[in-house]
Structure 1
Amino acid sequence: MNTIVISIKGVSYQYPEQESLALNNVSLDVYKGEWLAIVGHNGSGKSTLAKMLNGLHYPSKGTVMIGGYALNEENVWSIREKLGMVFQNPDNQFVGTTVQDDVAFGLENNGVEHGVMQERVFASLEKVGMTAFLNQEPHHLSGGQKQRVAIAGVIALRPDIILLDEATSMLDPLGREEVMNTVRELNEKEGLTVISITHDLEEAAKADRVIVLNEGRLYTEGTPQSIFQLDRELLNLGLGVPFAVQMSQLLADAGLQLSQRHFNEEELVSELWTLNFKM
């Protein structure tokens, strides 16, 4: 992961109606094949950054390079071929009457030949485990299924980078797990670079690297393990620490010797079962 696919240098952005900067001198790089989570409370600048990466905003200062293109009005459509975006509410993305029609929509707009289009639609739905729903109406699907179809529509266009903008925030725990497992598989098997914009640190725990934004600035960055050690700082920033992290710390404070601080509940429960059998 040493090839830079996105480079953000000294970027600032200010909305016309606001006095303060939404982004203030932010610099970061995104590497090919990594899963990067960008977290922050409401107003931290993460949504502004997501819109900028999709070419909906342009920097007031600084530069953004995506897939070798400088972000500007001339290059925005080339950049959108490199970076696909999955939004918060999948219902707002659906335009087709069936699942396969919806996935095909972007390909039709790009003038992809019909036979190639059919192959890509099926292949992308197969990657997200939704081939059994080809002829279903998207609005009859569960929340997790809808987002998997939305992801299929993005990867059918074969971008190098997929951006999830609070893509699991409206889902129940099962739907959230479905989507995150799908994204992890695409990241590991397809080498797809993933950027997850989220306020959910349980989602961020699945990433390779986490960046924390606060008041438009880059507050800190590191692995999930290093970030979650800042539990009190995160709480002061308005970010909730994952339940498994909190419970691991409470058990350690109570004298239970755990092998490590756990970041998901499955690992924590597994170790507790192991310790129970040893007692």
Structure 2
Amino acid sequence: MGQDVVKVENIVFRYHKESNPALQNVSLEVKDGEWLAIVGHNGSGKSTLARILNGLFLPQEGHVQVCGLPLTEENIWEIRKKVGMVFQNPDNQFVGTTVKDDVAFGLENHAVPREEMVKRIEWATMQVKMEEFLDQEPHHLSGGQKQRVAIAGVIAVQPKIIILDEATSMLDPIGRDEVMNSVRTLQEQGIVTVISITHDLEEAAKADRVIVMNNGRKFAEGTPSEIFALDESLTEIGLDLPFSYQLSQKLKTAGVPVGENHLTPEGLVKELWTLQSRS
């Protein structure tokens, strides 16, 4: 991983002067090229944090730096060029009558010349495997396809960071896999640094690093393995451990020689297949 592209130092944010803080003395760093998952139950502060990183909110206390720029009113628009967001409901994100028009929307707002725009639309849709749908109307697409078009619209502007704000929560398993695989490919190619905001620990299991939020504070931070080792502490704050992790535990309790608690179904299936082959 590279240098810090985001630095957050002791930020505090209240929605109303008299209310309890939605974020209380939160500090974190995001490394260039990594995938950071920020998880927590509803009301934990994770979505508020995402909106601060994109400059939609400014903290009342503390400091935020994005790609070397301090988050201030003067720098908001420059920071938003560097941070793209994909939101929860893909239907609420479309503004164009076709996929091509929708991907072009952000480029037009940034006054990208037409020749460059055509190249970027082609490149961005190819990255998410939607180049064959350029003339399709968005409402004819599946949920996963719509989110992939939303991602294409974001990366066409060429941000340094992409934030997924519960971007897969309304999708079926196939659509969720489509979106996550597309983003993973972009991250592995070094095109974007990824921050995913989610309550789904199965999604977080595929990140490089995880931050757990609870009641506006940072509850824990570490690799997925380190976070899931907290076990009951996570369920106590309203999070569900991945099914593959829970099943690994039950198999070991039943005497099946599973070597570890698997974070993903793929890993568990592979080990069970290996055990079956040996027997």
Structure 1 residues 55-94: aligned runs within 5 Å: 55-94=55-94
Residue 153 of structure 2 corresponds to which residue in structure 1?
153
Q: Distance in 1 between matches of 2:173 and 2:165?
A: 17
The answer to whether structure 1 residue 247 and structure 2 residue 247 are counterparts is yes
Amino acid across the alignment from 1:114: R
Change (3 A) 1:18 1:234: farther
Residue 269 of structure 1 corresponds to which residue in structure 2?
269
Q: Which moved more, 1:190-199 or 1:148-157?
A: 190-199
Structure 1 residues 121-132: aligned runs within 5 Å: 121-132=121-132
The answer to whether structure 1 residue 232 and structure 2 residue 243 are counterparts is no
Residue 7 of structure 1 corresponds to which residue in structure 2?
7
1:18 CA drift (Å): 5.6
1:27 CA drift (Å): 0.4
Q: Distance in 1 between matches of 2:273 and 2:220?
A: 35
Residue 212 of structure 1 corresponds to which residue in structure 2?
212
- Deviations 1:125-159 (CA, angstroms, capped at 9, x unpaired): 00000011010011110000000000000000000
Q: Distance in 2 between matches of 1:17 and 1:32?
A: 35
Structure 1 residues 40-55: aligned runs within 5 Å: 40-55=40-55
Q: Identity over aligned residues, as a percent? A: 61
**Paired residues of 2:2 and 2:33 also in contact (CA < 8 A):** no
Q: Distance in 1 between matches of 2:28 and 2:200?
A: 21
Structure 1 stretches of 4+ moved >6 Å: none
Aligned length: 279
Q: TM-score, normalised by structure 2?
A: 0.98
Amino acid across the alignment from 1:237: I
1:54 CA drift (Å): 1.4
Which runs of 5 or more residues in structure 2 are unaligned? none
Q: Distance in 2 between matches of 1:268 and 1:173?
A: 18
Where 2:150 maps in the other structure, the secondary structure is helix
Residue 19 of structure 1 corresponds to which residue in structure 2?
19
Residue 195 of structure 2 corresponds to which residue in structure 1?
195
Residue 173 of structure 2 corresponds to which residue in structure 1?
173
**Paired residues of 2:84 and 2:161 also in contact (CA < 8 A):** yes
Amino acid across the alignment from 2:269: V
